[in-house]
């Protein structure tokens, strides 16, 4: 297809052309915002590998009741309202990868940005949250 043919197509189908342009802009924006957010997204299999290979610290930001019903084995529960990157227990993990987990993966992003500002270099968020972990068929631990 040549450029004049593309221009003619766009002239005959303005709504399709605008839709394609809008989708393209949205995709580019999404990819660029991912590059500049300061932390990396992680799939459940990647989280498993990171814990096994690099002894990553998994921090579950969900309420204690939800955490007790089922959480990633080895995860530490920290309430979002009490989440403090300068906490002594968290500060010792500054050299380790830290993976933040919440219900859907949205809430953990704000906490991840706070960790990056506090100087943590290896910060990850479990994409899709605990729901993605469950969908992957990975085990949950119950209780505290």
Per-residue pLDDT tens digits of the chain, which is 144 residues long? 898 998 898 899 999 989 999 999 988 887 776 666 778 889 999 999 999 999 899 999 999 999 999 999 999 998 888 888 877 777 777 888 999 999 987 789 888 988 888 888 899 999 999 999 999 999 999 877
- 40 three-state secondary structure: strand
> What percent of the chain is helix, strand and coil (3-state, nearest 5)?
50, 15, 35
pTM comes to 0.75
Site of tokens 């915002």: 33
CA 74 to CA 15: how far, in whole Å?
51
**Per-residue confidence (pLDDT) for residue 33, from 0 to 100:** 66
- 78 three-state secondary structure: coil
Q: Hey, which residues are catalytic here?
A: 102
**Per-residue confidence (pLDDT) for residue 31, from 0 to 100:** 74
**Per-residue confidence (pLDDT) for residue 70, from 0 to 100:** 94
Please report, for residues 60, 99, 107, 140, the alpha-carbon distance to residue 130 in angstroms, rounded to integers and kept in the order given: 9, 12, 12, 9
Please report which helix (H) or strand (E) contains residue 44, including its range. Answer: helix 44-54
**Per-residue confidence (pLDDT) for residue 34, from 0 to 100:** 61
**Per-residue confidence (pLDDT) for residue 36, from 0 to 100:** 67
**Per-residue confidence (pLDDT) for residue 6, from 0 to 100:** 85
């Amino acid at each position: 297809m040549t450029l004049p043919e593309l221009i003619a197509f766009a002239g005959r189908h303005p709504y399709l052309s605008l839709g394609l342009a809008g989708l393209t802009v949205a995709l580019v924006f999404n990819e660029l915002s991912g590059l500049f957010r300061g932390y990396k997204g992680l799939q459940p299999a990647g989280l498993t590998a990171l814990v096994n290979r690099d002894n990553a610290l998994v921090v579950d930001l969900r309420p204690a009741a939800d955490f007790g019903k089922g959480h990633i084995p080895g995860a530490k529960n920290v309430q979002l309202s009490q989440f403090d990157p300068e906490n002594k227990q968290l500060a010792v993990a500054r050299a380790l990868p830290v993976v933040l987990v919440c219900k859907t993966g949205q809430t953990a992003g704000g906490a991840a940005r706070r960790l990056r500002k506090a100087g943590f270099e290896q910060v990850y968020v479990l994409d899709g949250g605990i729901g993605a972990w469950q969908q992957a068929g990975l085990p949950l631990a119950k209780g505290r």
